[in-house]
A and B are shown apart, each in its own frame.
Chain A
Amino acid sequence: MVPAHTGSRTTRLLGLAVLAGIAVVLVLALAVTGPDAVQGDAARLIYLHVPVAVSMNVGFGLCTLGSVMWLWKKSRWWDTVAVSAAEVGLVFTGLTLVTGMVWGRPTWGVYWTWDARLTTFSLLFLLYLGYLVVRHLPADLEVRNRRSAYVALLAFVDVPIVYLSVSWWRGLHQTATLSLSSTISGLMLFTLVLGIVVSLMGFLWLLVHRFRVAWLEDEVEIAGLDLAISERRAEAGIVEVSTP
């Protein structure tokens, strides 16, 4: 009997690797690394904030790729990649916002300020939330896929603006934590990079499961449509003729 779930051998192995990675990162981030010279213990939130932000960017990049590929190939697989990446990416966007606010309170003295990075970032959250709303508007599958692909392309315009906002406008938010000019090094850098790797693995695990759920949702919708068409045909007395 085929088990009824979205797991597979690969996702189980990946899930175990993610759990082990989380344990290692937690020990490094909370116990092994020391406090930052300027930010003190609040800097430990960076090992969480930056990894979820990187995963979010990967998610929105995948959403854009999936949308472009759908517009080009009209492939259901790519459309499913786009919607799954957008939803998981949106969860990670919310986490980036919240961890940033929790870090901002002891560092800046406020949870929120209309700084350029925070403003463009909250706009990004709203744009991808809008993408998911458009996705759920009732429509034919092809119409739904086309309009959500265009919304995804529009939303992605904000991603480089968010990244460059700390260079373009003066604000409270610090410049990129990881760049050629950043001063983070040693164990702090190792913990941060490991955190990013583990976060990306966790993102991939969620993405694979969400992809399969989105695929199943479409299967159920297509089956429902086929059934409804057959019922209408039966009501109208149209006999379906199967060709050999």
Chain B
Amino acid sequence: MWGYVTVGYLLVFVVVFAYAIHVLVKGRSLSKQVPPENRRWM
């Protein structure tokens, strides 16, 4: 039973971590192409 539990938790954290990294990297790449005045959250 613990095998299924471990696989479930690992899958969720690996996918969320990978997606978060993907979004952050894309954000960094796009930020360099946009002038600071158009990045209103800074």
Contacts and interface: CB of A to CB of B under 8 A. Distances in A.
A123 interface: no
Contacts of B11: 95, 98-99, 102
Nearest to B37: A2
A75 interface: no
A41 interface: yes
Given A30-B5, A217-B30, A6 B24 contact: yes
A95 B12 contact: yes
Interface residues of B, number: 28
A209 B21 CA distance: 11
Given A42-B1, A220-B33, A102 B23 contact: no
Contact of A103 (B4, B15, B28): B4
Contacts of B23: 6, 206, 209-210, 213
Contact of B41 (A4, A45, A212, A220): A212
Nearest to B32: A4
Nearest to A208: B41
Interface residues of A, number: 38
A5 interface: yes
Interface of B: 1-2, 4-5, 7-9, 11-12, 15-16, 19-20, 23-24, 26-28, 30-34, 36, 38-39, 41-42
23 contacts: A2-B39, A4-B28, A4-B32, A5-B27, A6-B23, A7-B27, A26-B9, A30-B9, A41-B1, A45-B4, A45-B8, A98-B8, A102-B4, A105-B4, A106-B1, A205-B20, A206-B19, A206-B20, A209-B20, A212-B27, A216-B33, A219-B34, A219-B38
